[in-house]
Amino acid sequence: MTTITRADLLAELEHLASTGHPAPCRNRPDLDWTSESTKAQQRAAEACQPCGAWETCRAWGLTTTDYGTYYLTPAERHLARTTHTIPTPETDI
């Protein structure tokens, strides 16, 4: 399994933006990406679904202690870490 770094994630987000497909977290200031509200976290995680960087983002979200959505709510992150299951858009936990 490849370890994802913050630099990997930022490079992928920059690539998406430079090809005209900015990530929702870079293009949706109306969403609170670092909220402590469960509802806001769920809205932000749902907005990530069409993003081309979701796989890298989720992998980073499972390894980092940085606070943010990373296509995961805190409950999903906890469950994924304890069950060693990495959710995908098709198999969300």
Angle between helices 38-47 and 74-83 (to 10 degrees): 70
Average pLDDT, the chain: 80
Distance of alpha carbon 72 from alpha carbon 19, whole angstroms: 25
The SS3 of residue 64 is coil
Which pLDDT tens digit goes with each residue over 33-66? 888 788 888 888 888 888 999 888 888 877 777 6
Q: Does the pLDDT value for residue 91 go beyond 70?
A: no
Give me the residue spans of the domains in the chain: 6-83
